Amino acid sequence: MHLLSGSLARSMKRLPEGLETEGISFRSMAEAIDTTISDGRLIFHIFSALAEFEPCVIRERTRAGTLLR
């Protein structure tokens, strides 16, 4: 799994709801992700949450590092 960064990570936060709203499903050929079933939707939401979490952690660590200087 590759970590998401930048605009892709920000887009991932809104992607699950946008797909559902438009009636679009997602099925990965490389991973066990299929948004037509509940397990796949759960994994997709977890990845979206991680995409949202990562930039927040980076900001917090940057602030903490700045305060230590």
pLDDT band at 46; cut points 50, 70, 90:
confident
Query: Quick check: 23 and 59 in contact, CB under 8 A?
Result: no
**Which domain, by its residues, includes 14?**
6-68
Q: Which residue has the higher pLDDT, 9 or 33?
A: 33
61 lies in a domain? yes
Q: How sure is the predictor about 2, in pLDDT bands with cuts at 50, 70 and 90?
A: very low
Lowest mean pLDDT among 5-9, 10-14, 20-24, 50-54: 5-9
Would residue 18 count as lying in a domain?
yes
Query: Does residue 16 form part of some domain?
Result: yes
Alpha-carbon distance of 43 to 12, in angstroms, equals 13
- Examine residue 1 and state whether it is found in any structural domain, yes or no: no
pTM: 0.55
Number of domains in the chain: 1
CA distance 52 to 17: 14
Does residue 23 sit within a domain? yes
